[in-house]
Amino acid sequence: MIKRSFFSLTQPRLKYDLLEADPKAPESIPIPPNLILLLNEALDNTKSIILKKGDKVKKGEKLSLYKDSTEYTISPVSGVINVIDTYSDDFGNKATYLVVRNDPQQASGEDIVKYELTDDIEVADQYLRTLPGAPPLKILASKENTIQTLVIMCTDQDILSTTAQYVAQSTMEEIKEGVRVLKRIANIMKMCLVVSQDTNMQTEFDGIQTFRVSKNYPSALPAMIMKDHLNMILPAGQSPEDVGVAFITAEAIVSIAKAYRTKTATYEKVLTVIGKDGQRHMIKATIGTPLRRIFNAFSLHINEKDRLIIGGPMKGFATYTHHHPVLPDMDTVIIQDRDLIPALSDNACINCGKCIKICPANIPVNLLVRLLEADQYEEAFDKFDLGSCIECGLCAYVCLARIPLYQYIRLGKHEFLKLKADA
């Protein structure tokens, strides 16, 4: 953990981690006997479900809960569905998880599903959404917003992770291939590539601009890239796709390239796993692999009260179970020792101003927090710029009173959107 320096007249600087010069190839984790797949749709007792316990599934088969579902997941193995149950996330949003028992016997040649991928983004969206890197095909295929600019992220958004950099560096040729596919299937006017300032990655592309972002967090967050490199200020309360910009990871582009080449899906996700000793392990695991398998493979220990962080230290989330599966967009997993977990408090804001100094979006966090604590979301949005927050987490990182500011802000946004939707 990076502590404030003894003298801190200037801002603390959180820096992105740079991929080492000569990275080792990721170690592959064998496919586990049971895989856990998340489906972004809640179980609904009033509808008749088309997936059942005991159903046989094929490798590459598209799985949805209901006939009219738009959400799906793809089974990375051939086998049998063992469990269908509810999963709820941080905010109490409901989703569903499936456990698929892997049956290697079943996975003979003709049991692997081939996709009819035509040069149409909507067809791609039918099959490729849950590929490693989680391609934003839903956004690209959406009729509501036309995406004019696609930003390919060859750098990591949160600190500590080097997954995106590794994938980008090791698969440049496939990224080019993926760009050609996307140009063919989607009508995107402009594509650009984001790399870290200090990388020596070769990014020579025809007709694609390369942006170099600084190594200071949060310069690689979408809103910051738009501001610094695209000269677009994200209007308060809107997401990049609302203004025609989409972000895609290098890994997702590569997945698309492979899918179009082979007409099948790929399932191996690259991720950085960081143990308590701070040691980084680059691994490759099949989507759906329970994290426990990975920890066992590297003898990484977790004890009572430790924290298991998915995503980075600034923007990630903590899971309550080591059975949590590898997900298509999971770049980093961190085991944080319980002794290193910073204590939060229920202090009130003391108006120290540290959050104001560090906030990249000029948000009056000291005033905002008072409204959020009082559940006044609308006023928080209208008068105190809740919608402008780019969700970097820096305010909570420095808060002297140790208020969980970032959580308040995320919850506030969530509640506000709910209010608006209900109105």
Partner 1 sequence: MNKYKLTVSHAPFWHDGDSLFQMNMNILLAALPAAIFGIFQFGASAFGVLALSVGSAMFWELVMNMVSKKPLSIGDLDAAVIGLMFGMMLPPITPWWVVITGTFVAVIVGKMIFGGIGANPFNPALIGMAILMLSWKAFFDFDTSLVDFVFDFTELAPLAAIKFQGAGAAEMFSVGDLFMGKEVGAIGSVFGLGLVLGGIYLILRGYIRWEISLSFIVGIIVTAFIFNMVNSENYAGPLFHLFSGYTLLGAFFLMTENSSSPVNTIPMFIYGFLGGLMIILMRNIGSYADGTVLAILLLNLVNPLIDNIRPKALGKGENNA
Binders of partner 1 among 276-315, rule CB under 8 A? 302-309, 311, 313-315
- 246 contacts which partner out of partner 1, ligand SF4, none, CB within 5 to 8 A by kind? none
Question: Is residue 362 involved in binding partner 1 (CB under 8 A)?
Answer: yes
CA distance 97 to 105: 24
Q: Of the ranges 145-153, 203-211, 290-298, 346-354, which one interacts with ligand SF4 (CB under 6 A)?
A: 346-354
Strands (E), 177-244: 190-196, 209-213
Choosing from 98, 309, 395, 408, the residue that interacts with ligand SF4 (CB under 6 A) is: 395
Choosing from 80, 112, 243, 400, the residue that interacts with ligand SF4 (CB under 6 A) is: 400
3-state class of 301 per DSSP? Answer: coil
- 369 contacts which partner out of ligand SF4, partner 1, none, CB within 5 to 8 A by kind? ligand SF4
Looking at the Cβ atoms of 70 and 238, the one nearer to partner 1 is 238
Q: How far is the CB of 237 from ligand SF4 (least distance, A)?
A: 13
CA distances (Å), 66 to each of 44, 69, 71, 79, 168, in order? 9, 5, 9, 20, 37
Residue 347: HSE in the Cβ half-sphere, 13 Å Cα cutoff: 14
Looking at the Cβ atoms of 175 and 398, the one nearer to partner 1 is 398
Answer positive or negative: Cα dihedral of 291, 331, 138, 32: negative
* DSSP secondary structure letter of residue 397: H
Q: How far is the CB of 389 from ligand SF4 (least distance, A)?
A: 3
CA distance 250 to 224: 19
Show contacts with ligand SF4 in window 368-387 (CB under 6 A): 369
Looking at the Cβ atoms of 151 and 355, the one nearer to ligand SF4 is 355
Q: Of the ranges 3-11, 97-105, 120-128, 167-175, which one interacts with partner 1 (CB under 8 A)?
A: 3-11
Q: How far is the CB of 15 from ligand SF4 (least distance, A)?
A: 16
Which DSSP string corresponds to 198-223?
A: T-------TT-EEEEE-SBTTTTSHH
CA distance 384 to 364: 6
3-state class of 239 per DSSP? Answer: coil
Residue with tokens 């804001």: 349
Amino acid in the structure at residue 188: I
Question: Is residue 273 involved in binding partner 1 (CB under 8 A)?
Answer: no
Looking at the Cβ atoms of 22 and 346, the one nearer to partner 1 is 346
Amino acid in the structure at residue 320: Y
Strands (E), 245-348: 245-249, 268-274, 280-286, 307-310, 317-319, 332-336
Question: Is residue 234 involved in binding ligand SF4 (CB under 6 A)?
Answer: no
Measuring CA to CA, which residue among 28, 101, 65, 61 is closest to residue 270? 28
Q: Of the ranges 119-127, 172-180, 273-281, 385-393, which one interacts with partner 1 (CB under 8 A)?
A: 385-393
Show contacts with ligand SF4 in window 168-227 (CB under 6 A): none
Choosing from 137, 179, 282, 409, the residue that interacts with ligand SF4 (CB under 6 A) is: 409
Choosing from 37, 363, 372, 380, the residue that interacts with ligand SF4 (CB under 6 A) is: 363
Measuring CA to CA, which residue among 116, 111, 47 is closest to residue 77? 111
Looking at the Cβ atoms of 185 and 245, the one nearer to partner 1 is 245
Choosing from 193, 230, 399, 415, the residue that interacts with ligand SF4 (CB under 6 A) is: 399
Q: How far is the CB of 415 from partner 1 (least distance, A)?
A: 15
CB–CB of 401/345 below 8 Å? Answer: yes
Choosing from 61, 125, 385, 415, the residue that interacts with partner 1 (CB under 8 A) is: 385
CA distance 25 to 231: 37
Give the footprint of ligand SF4 on this chain (CB under 6 A): 349-355, 358-361, 363, 365-366, 369, 389-395, 398-401, 403, 405-406, 409
